[in-house]
Chains A and B, each alone.
Chain A
């Protein structure tokens, strides 16, 4: 394959166009799974940290990243998976959180640090992404994908997803 000598900025720009297939307003970069990009004569090496163990979209995202780079002539791509530090929703930047909210998904609050059990404490209610009310209730801690929980807004009577704080 004819090697195009890409620079790191090009690679990051291209990866910024690769969307999470299940949350299509977030790019893989905004999602925080792209931890490191190294460009050398040997090609491009992308270090990724997967989100949930049970997320079936991880492999798709890797494939989508590869295809997007190939489409721009960057073919020598290798991926390395690194598990530590573990992925956290805290890595999603503020601008991307606003994109989530506009898409109808309540963005994640700060992830809980340490402490094993918080059984009795009720988590703070999550603001409705449609009307902003905090008069909402959690319907289920698990939603349509590993990264979401289901809530209901008592003010505007809408069910909505929350991107879990994790």
Chain B
């Protein structure tokens, strides 16, 4: 057995910070990363209306992410603003779930990813909008309105793709099969969640999972799609262990800010 030098063998996750900071980072990073992914479609979507739609959703998510990261930076109290958090952290410091960093693939992959996320997001934000942390609740309430609108859009595309042509059906089913294993992570709760729950920010993951299952099965049934029977769920994003795709995404997202530190226009 080869012994790796300690700096390689040691786990490279960055240690978790204060629970409330971690909690808000997870929320903000989901939106920033998914927003960036969607922005990659700009100029490439199958029809003009969808190009505009995906860019609009991307802008909403990036805007939500910016406000949430600004709050995380303020709670952290180390002088990092939303730009510092978005552009100057490394892969292992990102706390987004694995689902949102998965590549766009074809249009079906993008829509299925969006639908699975939106259906979870509206339930999660709905719970947070009623939490006692006033600033967090306000951001959640605002994002909830936007994500509800996004969910309507992604749901309708699920129906059109799934119950569309044989090819669109097959692609949508393939996307659902491929992305399903990234959905388990959405309902995980760890020590961070337990700690913020003590401050009253409690989200009942099992209740959300049940409602999410209802939404997803309902839409899938109408779309003639079948959620796969997949017992293995991927995990790790919330503590900084990401799939290989996030690093590539960050390279593109961060290069200007890192090449020209402090640049403005």
Contacts and interface: CB of A to CB of B under 8 A. Distances in A.
A54 B219 contact: no
Contacts of A139: 49
Which of A82, A141, A166 has the most C-beta atoms of chain B within 10 angstroms of its own C-beta?
Answer: A141
Nearest to A81: B67
A54 B61 contact: yes
Contact of A142 (B52, B62, B142, B155): B52
B23 to A, nearest CB: 18
Interface stretch (B76-84, B89-97, B133-141): B133-141
A117 to B, nearest CB: 6
Interface string A141-166: 11110100010000000000000101
B19 interface: no
Contacts of B52: 140, 142-144
Nearest to B145: A86
A55 interface: yes
A42 interface: no
Interface residues on A, range: 20 to 34
A95 interface: no
Contact of B138 (A86, A116, A117): A86
A118 interface: yes
Nearest to A54: B59
B172 interface: no
Given A86-B142, A119-B155, A52 B63 contact: yes
B143 to A, nearest CB: 7
Nearest to B135: A83
Given A83-B67, A84-B134, A53 B123 contact: no
Interface in A58-94: 82-87
Given A84-B134, A116-B126, A54 B62 contact: yes
A23 to B, nearest CB: 15
Interface in B151-174: 151-153, 155-156
B141 A84 contact: yes
A110 interface: no
A135 B199 CA distance: 52
A146 B134 contact: no
B104 interface: no
B50 to A, nearest CB: 8
Nearest to B51: A142
A146 B56 contact: yes
A56 interface: yes
Contacts of A84: 134, 137-138, 141-142
A54 B126 contact: no
A84 B138 CA distance: 5
A141 B148 CA distance: 12
Given A83-B135, A83-B138, 6 more contacts: A83-B141, A86-B145, A116-B123, A119-B156, A141-B149, A164-B149
Interface of B: 49-50, 52-53, 56-64, 66-67, 122-123, 126, 134-135, 137-139, 141-143, 145-146, 148-149, 151-153, 155-156, 215, 218-219
17 contacts: A52-B59, A52-B60, A53-B62, A53-B66, A54-B57, A54-B59, A82-B138, A83-B135, A83-B141, A84-B142, A86-B141, A116-B151, A117-B148, A119-B156, A119-B219, A141-B152, A142-B153
